[in-house]
Amino acid sequence: MRFVSFFVDGKNRIAPEPLAPRHHHSISTSFYNLHNVDPPPLNEGYSFNTTLQAELAGKLLLLDELSLSLNEVHDHYDHGYIRYNKGIDNEQGKWKCNRCGNNEPRLFASFSCYRCKEMQCVYCRNCIMMGRVSQCTPLVSWIGPSLNWKDRNCESVWEGMLSSAQENASLRLEEKIGVKDELLIWAVCGAGKTEVLFQGIEKALKTGQRVCIATPRTDVVLELLPRLRKVFPGVTLSGLYGGSMDHMDGAQLILSTTHQLFRFRKAFDLIIVDEVDAFPFSYDKTLAYAVQQAQKAEALIVYLSATPDRKMKQRAEDGKLPSVKIPKRYHGFPLPVPHFLWCGHWKKKLKKNKLPGNVMNWINHQLERNRQGFLFVPSVRTLEQIVPLLKEMNPLIEGVHAEDPDRKEKVIRFRNGETPILVTTTILERGVTVPFTDVAVLGTEEEIFTESALVQIAGRAGRSKDDPAGEVLFYHYGKTTAMVQAKRHIEQMNREAGL
């Protein structure tokens, strides 16, 4: 977009070219070329638009993402209620995206821009899926009065009971609310860590704090959203993920994928990062930047994980990261220990449209017992080869992967018991809880099945107190270090729990 810079009563002002005063004598230029973009002082007598306040408070958004007209938005700039921020900066010869923090040269490109009329307008490729941030696109932030959630009904209506280990972790979290600090809650798969959060979240909400639970996967958002709505019925709650229609602006409690945090700035007093070790959070440094930018100066950051990485474990062991461990599942039974089963050259068999005999036996066994099962595979290609073969055995068997347009519906069908076997990539290694379910992995020797991934996959079984001893089978064409370490990890947690 092209802006104009001019003076009013000796002070510099800016305006989008279509809204510039007619008497100005300046030449319009790309927003990037402006040197002083500071807004006027706040006019406290101005009647600001509360919809814009709710949309923008604690956020950094493109003009295209706002519901108000450009004229209405800019009127708030003229009265000191919003700020126009550079979308792209150049720091010591390196480009930087001010939304996602990307500074990798390979993740920037340029194009001939219709809006600013520049032949080389640089944009960020890293966060383009959320709308293009380029040199000429300002990011808009709110600098007017803050949102206020005090005196609202923030009571939790959850009436469940916590185990002693859960209660200990819950109290540790509650003690930390309102303190600038970090806390690692290291909880085994199926420990009931969501319930552990309720007391702490309630305390934060009652004191007028804004809370975010950030998770790497859309599936986890979809699973937690209805649960949190039941627990906190009086709280404004929004679920944010790619393609979601739920954008309750100004919500006090946000459940979000980590990518959606790119849009927030100094917004939250409490951020809970779920599955901090998971892809994509563990691989994309800009997601850590997103968490950092979304927190207020005095915020508490809580990390949840069943499999914290080596660096986080070391910080906890050295006393540099406050931590609390929940080594036992909420129902008190041990974690299912995986069994290793050699299945031969399964890829060679697949080329002949066949599956290893022992894998087929497991599928038949599950179907005969009318017992659901996850079958994890290493790639989408493998999934697409296997699903047609299994559909010949039972047409209700389905496959799901990250880019599947019907992913949400397929997971719901499996959760409702309509799908006997769900073939899946590692996209469902976390967050999806289905009772009376066993787990098998085909091609466990593949590189994608890390220790962390295998621990999480094994954690899909035995999660119900009515069925605590689910079966976990690792079919392989050669044992790997990751497989052995995952088994040891699970056995160690069972020992620590005294099981």
The alpha carbon dihedral of 170, 174, 176, 182 has a sign of positive
What's the one-letter identity of residue 352? K
Q: Are 287 and 278 in contact (CB under 8 A)?
A: no
255 bridge partner residues: 213, 239
| Per-residue pLDDT, 124 | 98
User: Hey, how many other C-beta atoms are within 10 angstroms of the C-beta on 151?
Assistant: 8
C-alpha distances (whole Å) from 241 to each of 130, 177, 366 are 11, 26, 34
Q: Are 115 and 1 in contact (CB under 8 A)?
A: yes
| Per-residue pLDDT, 152 | 80
And the tokens for 347? 């890829």
Residue 151 has pLDDT above 90, yes or no: no
Longest dimension (CA), the chain: 84
* Residue from 338, 350, 358, 373 nearest 449 by CA: 338
3-state secondary structure of 299: strand
Average pLDDT for 103-110: 96
Q: Are 70 and 63 in contact (CB under 8 A)?
A: yes
Rg (CA), the chain: 26
HSE, side-chain direction, 13 A CA sphere, residue 258: 25
The pLDDT tens digits for 279-308 are 556 667 888 899 999 999 999 999 999 888
Average pLDDT for 353-368: 97
* Residue from 473, 477, 449 nearest 345 by CA: 477
Predicted structure pTM score: 0.85
| Per-residue pLDDT, 278 | 67
Which phi and psi angles does 287 have, rounded to 5°? -75, -35
Q: Are 133 and 62 in contact (CB under 8 A)?
A: yes
DSSP state of 243: T
Q: Is 91 left (phi over 0), alpha (psi -120 to 50) or beta?
A: beta
And the tokens for 387? 């699903």
Average pLDDT for 461-468: 89
| Per-residue pLDDT, 189 | 87
The pLDDT tens digits for 10-21 are 888 999 999 988
User: Hey, how many other C-beta atoms are within 10 angstroms of the C-beta on 470?
Assistant: 24
In the chain the first and final C-alpha atoms are separated, in Å, by 64
Average pLDDT for 99-119: 95
Rounded CA gap, 121 and 242, in Å? 26
What's the one-letter identity of residue 347? K
E strand or H helix at 286: helix 285-294
Residue 22 has pLDDT above 90, yes or no: no
| Per-residue pLDDT, 281 | 64
Residues in the chain: 499
| Per-residue pLDDT, 248 | 64
Residue 204 has pLDDT above 60, yes or no: yes
The pLDDT tens digits for 80-94 are 999 999 999 998 889
Rounded CA gap, 252 and 235, in Å? 7
The pLDDT tens digits for 371-394 are 999 999 999 999 999 999 999 999
* Residue from 42, 236, 22, 260 nearest 143 by CA: 42
C-alpha distances (whole Å) from 232 to each of 170, 253, 277 are 17, 9, 27
Give the pairing of strands 11-16 and 2-8.
antiparallel
442 bridge partner residues: 475
Q: Are 181 and 200 in contact (CB under 8 A)?
A: no
**Mean of pLDDT over the chain:** 93
Q: What is the dihedral of CA 488, 494, 496, 499, to 10 degrees?
A: -140
Going along the chain from its start, the domains and CATH numbers come out as 2-142 (no CATH), 164-326 (3.40.50.300), 339-496 (3.40.50.300)
E strand or H helix at 409: helix 407-415
